[in-house]
Copies of this chain bind each other. A is one copy, B any other.
Amino acid sequence: MLTDLFTPSVLRSLDLAGIFVFAISGALLAVRKNFDVFGIAVLAEVTALGGGLIRDLIIGAVPPAAFTDFGYFVTPLIAASLVFFLHPEVERINGAVGVFDAAGLGLFCVAGTTKAYEYGLSLTASVTLGVATAAGGGVLRDVLANEVPSLLRWDREIYAVPALVGSSVVALLVHFDALSGGTSALAALLAFALRLCAMRFGWRAPRAWNRRSTAREETEGA
């Protein structure tokens, strides 16, 4: 049923676009961390494909799409090459990278939720895996770069919430039998727009209550 709505070629083009922009963010962090050219390629691959890889291992879709589709494998290498040769230019358009990353977030949370549901998981689990698909690559990227995942940090704009909203809308669409190519695109657009607003207006999620007073020492100690 669902496979009718998303023709493989449309899904794949969207996936490749998301993979490309996530790979850019991984490669840029690798350049900032002073990694060599292979470190840049590895971090681009892991950032771009890590979220989908985690999802595929959990739903039992082995070998994962990352290893069966040559385009999935080669796209991060193209992004890594671009960053390797042109990174000052790419850095200069860092705002643009943020926009692309937000687009990838929207695409991946919708694609991840849909794929998990197609593999028979419950709607709750599908929403969780949609968020994991969108955010997992970035978490792996930060772990490999030996940094605290920006997903978890209080001083970064919200990332999980837009993915959660996008995935939940897909779940609602499935529940009311209203999932189509068009409504999926709307869900992805909603997540995209929320993430853009979060970046533009500095939306942050609250920390635990009563933390304000002790936050300063924490930051100093970090």
* A34→B215 contact, CB < 8 A: yes
Point out the residue from B83, B125, B139, B209 that lies within 8 Å of A73, measured CB to CB: B125
* B59→A160 contact, CB < 8 A: no
Q: How far is the CA of A184 from the CA of B59 in the complex (A)?
A: 31
Q: A30-B152, A39-B151, A139-B144 are in contact. Are A208 and B84 (CB under 8 A)?
A: yes
Apart from A34-B215, A67-B125: 18 A-B pairs, beta carbons within 8 A: A31-B211, A34-B211, A35-B207, A36-B153, A37-B208, A38-B160, A42-B160, A57-B57, A57-B62, A58-B62, A58-B63, A58-B67, A67-B121, A83-B208, A85-B209, A87-B209, A87-B210, A139-B144
7 closest cross-chain pairs (CB), A and B: A39-B152, A60-B62, A36-B205, A67-B125, A36-B154, A38-B160, A146-B148
Sample (10) of A-B pairs whose CB atoms are under 8 Å apart: A32-B218, A34-B211, A35-B152, A35-B153, A37-B207, A40-B208, A58-B63, A67-B121, A67-B125, A144-B152
